[in-house]
Structures are given as structure tokens and as C-alpha cells.
Copies of this chain bind each other. A is one copy, B any other.
Amino acid sequence: MLDRLRDLIPEPALRRLPWYLAYVSLLRERGVEYVSSTGIARGINGDPSQIAKDLSFLDIKGKTRIGYEVSLLEHKLEEFLGFRKCHKAVMLGAGSLGTALMQDSGLTNYGLNIVAGFDVNPALIGTAVKGLPIYDVADLPEKVRELGVEIGIVAVPVEYAQDAADAIVGAGLKAIWNFTPYRIQVPDDVVITNTSIYAQLAVMYNRMSCR
């Protein structure tokens, strides 16, 4: 039922839900008990009717004139967004960005548990980053099975992005989080999410120069 509901939510609405969650968590920490969609709109500079519509995808009802119970709304948002489940992931590429992400404990708050790193560089294989082992990429299929991994993260140099993705798919994983600006090609049954933080820089520089 939950999965069916999630299936129906449009992606822009799904992308907005974490904003509401951030604000609602803040309210809960401040001891606020109830919040309306108008209250959320004020807090995050959003549109109240859009917020009400987005929240209608959740299995929660607000009370007239009072709004949503803050701690329940936080819980329902975390559950709906998949942040309350633990998703095991491996990092391909133990270079600068890869090890940076392996050290970001914030990810675990959002349900992502990076359990190991992989590289092709003999100088890195056998070392550890914040207690997480770096293995040879050749051992990926074996380790994925052993560790019960669901997600492969790609943070290799751009020229190896496709190879890394092929290795992840070859190891039987069905989800890839791609941090390179390369457009990785994968079979239809593999989910790919592209997060090119460097592309965001271009947008920012552009807006800066237009002012």
C-alpha cells in the first residue's frame, strides 16, 4: 500500500518532502506540538496549498485549525521517504570525493549506510577510511553478496564512470548513485540517480555573473 502510494507521487513533490521534513524536525526539537501547512509555508518560504497537496500523499491527516501533530508528521515523512530503513551501499572510488562521502556521517541519518569502499589503486586497497575497508574492485561481486549491499555509489574519475557502473551492475546491484558528471548507461531494470555537485556550480556561477 505504501509502495503503491509512493508510486503515484510526482517527482517534484517527492523532492520537496525532505524540505518539509527538515523544518518539521526543527519544530519538534523546539518543542512545537502542532503545525499547519500554512505554518510550514511560512517557515520555509513555500506555497501553503502546494504543501497541503504534497502532504496529502502521506498517510496522515491534519486537524482543522490545529494542523498536523509535529512528531507524527516527522515520523510519517521519514518513513515515506525511506529514511527510516537502512540501505547498505558500497563506494566505488576511494579518491577525494569518495572518501569525503564515506566520512559524512550525515548520510546514515537518511538511511544510507556505506559499508565499504572499492578502488583499483593498489596503494589504497587494504587501507581503511573511518574504519571502512577499501577492497579491490575485482572483489565487488563477492563482497556485495557477503555484506548484503543494495546500492553502488560511483565517485571515480569521469573516464572510469561507465566501467564502475558496469562493475556494479555485474555484481547484481539494481541501484546506482552517480556522483560523476558522466551520463552512465545502465539496463532498464537498474535505478540511476545522478548527483553532479559540480554541475550545480555552473548554475551558481551563471547566476552570479548575471547579477
Q: Which residue of B lies closest to A82 (CB)?
A: B205
Question: How distant is A90 from chain B, measured CB to nearest CB, in Å?
Answer: 14
The answer to whether A195 has its CB under 8 Å from any CB of chain B is: yes
Interface residues of A, dominant DSSP: helix
CB-contact partner of A87 in B29, B104, B159, B205, under 8 A:
B205
Given contacts A17-B202, A22-B181, 20 further A-B contacts (CB under 8 A): A6-B210, A18-B199, A18-B202, A19-B181, A19-B196, A21-B181, A22-B180, A22-B182, A23-B183, A26-B159, A44-B182, A81-B201, A81-B205, A82-B205, A83-B202, A87-B205, A100-B101, A109-B198, A151-B208, A193-B203
Inter-chain CA distance A208–B7, complex, in Å, is 10
Q: Is the CB of B208 within 8 A of A174?
A: yes
How far is A189 from B211 in the complex, measured between Cα atoms in Å? 7
